[in-house]
Amino acid sequence: MLLGTQKINAQGRLEIGGCDALELAQQFGTPLYVLDEDAFRARCRDYRAAFEQLKPDTEIVYASKAALNRALCQIIDEEGLGLDVASGGELYTALQAGFPPTRLHLHGVYKTDDELQMAVEAGVGTIVVDNLEELERLKRFCPSPPIVLRIAPEVEANTHPLIRTGQRDSKFGFHLLNGDAERAVERVLNDSAFVLRGFHCHIGSQISDLSAFAAATHAMVAFAQHMRERYGYVAPLLNIGGGLAVCYTPEDQPPSVQEYAQTLVNALREACQQHHYPEPALGIEPGRSLIAEAGITLYRVGAVKQVPHDNPNLPREYIIVDGGVSDNPRPQMYGARYTAVHVNRRAEPHDHPYRILGKHCETDPVIDCALLPATQLGDVIAVLTTGAYAYSMSSQYNRYPRPAMVAVRDGTVRVIVERETYADVVRMDR
């Protein structure tokens, strides 16, 4: 679980991006989000290299819901990827960062009129349309950007139910069985206000089974061929979304980016050959798999308790840290599992079981069973693989200010999100 540039330095402590993690905690306080910038950039380049070798016309768009701020927008721009934004706030952040609007994709199951107007006025490159009502509202804004239609492909991915997005009961996209998908295509093709780039789908997140992505690709090509037979429309682009799994624990063995790319490209070509369909450009939207492993969260231990419970699955020693559900709600929302390491004594055996919990006014487990060296008040621990959906889902629950985020690279550190203060907590109160 030494991910990215992480290593054990000469003092036996955790090092990331050439920076001593204990010194980061002392200088910037805890909780602290730390971004391994080289690891993030390397992952972007892995995606580009894998798809450029197999299918150069693949459009790689970072799903910014995983984590977004102005610095991240600038990194994505420098690495040559597109940017998928799913709200007015994400769109505004990208524009404030100077991200090229033509490489922006606006997503969302319900885009308000204000969000659509902002996107049109900014000149975003693509709007991913989710429903028939949105088509009618989008016509008010002229000229409309090119669009793709989001299709629910009836593929049920093997992942947590709350992060499945392409199955039969999904709230997302135009469904096949009730005819909405075909009606949407007919409506768009019969209206000169729209330029249809192609079709889009997304089946979920943290998916290790590559066959699910292949199934979605086959379903999308079959739908595209049906639309070709019915309306004579040949889609220039099929976007298969994102969702590739990452490594949260030593037991996790997610597929490589190269295996993922090979699966998608092979499935696309097989399906196109089967249906005698002209091969379209491919679109993908990696989010978690680009940034998750590049992030860690540093916490300081505030208490170690002996708890006399009878649950054989939980350690009786509890560690209370200075963060929790407000800086990472995923363990509570999804039962997400993480790995912790001891920053001060990273080189020592991690063989003592602890239950790590947050400091909030409810039971907010961080990790139910973490293996660490003997740990005491004041020690610093790092929770790994928190680059995705920790910062982006953080809150001010219990009126705790949100943590800072720093980017580390080649022994240098820069603050890319300031730590909130108590003044920030009450700033909007009236």
pLDDT tens-place string over residues 33-53: 999 999 999 999 999 999 999
Euclidean distance between CA atoms 390 and 385, whole angstroms? 10
Q: If you search the block for the tokens 């595209």, which residue do you land on? A: 224
Q: What is the pTM of this model?
A: 0.94
Task: Copy the structure tokens of residue 136.
Answer: 């009618």
Task: Copy the structure tokens of residue 399.
Answer: 């009126």
Task: Copy the structure tokens of residue 398.
Answer: 């219990």
Contacts of 325 (CB under 8 A, 6+ apart): 331, 332, 358, 360, 362, 364, 395, 397
Catalytic residue among 19, 73, 361, 369: 361
- Beta-carbon neighbour count of residue 140 at 10 Å? 12
Categorize the per-residue pLDDT at 165 as very low, low, confident or very high, splitting at 50, 70 and 90.
low
- Is 73 designated active site? no
- The full length of the chain comes to 430
Task: Establish whether domains 7-30+292-424 and 37-286 are of one fold.
Answer: no
Average pLDDT, stretch 412-427?
98
- Beta-carbon neighbour count of residue 57 at 10 Å? 13
**What mean pLDDT is reported for the chain?**
94
Tell me, what amino acid is at 423? A
Euclidean distance between CA atoms 203 and 218, whole angstroms? 13
pLDDT digits (tens, 9 = 90+) for 400-416: 999 999 999 999 999 99
pLDDT > 80? residue 260: yes
CATH number for the 37-286 domain, one of 3.30.450.30, 3.20.20.10, 3.40.920.10, 3.50.50.60? 3.20.20.10
Which sign does the torsion angle of CA 420, 422, 427, 430 carry? positive
Task: Copy the structure tokens of residue 89.
Answer: 């706030």
End-to-end CA distance of the chain: 47
Q: Taking the domains of the chain in order of start, what are their residue ranges?
A: 7-30+292-424, 37-286
**Main-chain phi, psi angles of 369, to 5 degrees:** -145, 100
202 vs 163 pLDDT, higher one: 202
Categorize the per-residue pLDDT at 1 as very low, low, confident or very high, splitting at 50, 70 and 90.
confident
Class of domain 7-30+292-424: mainly beta
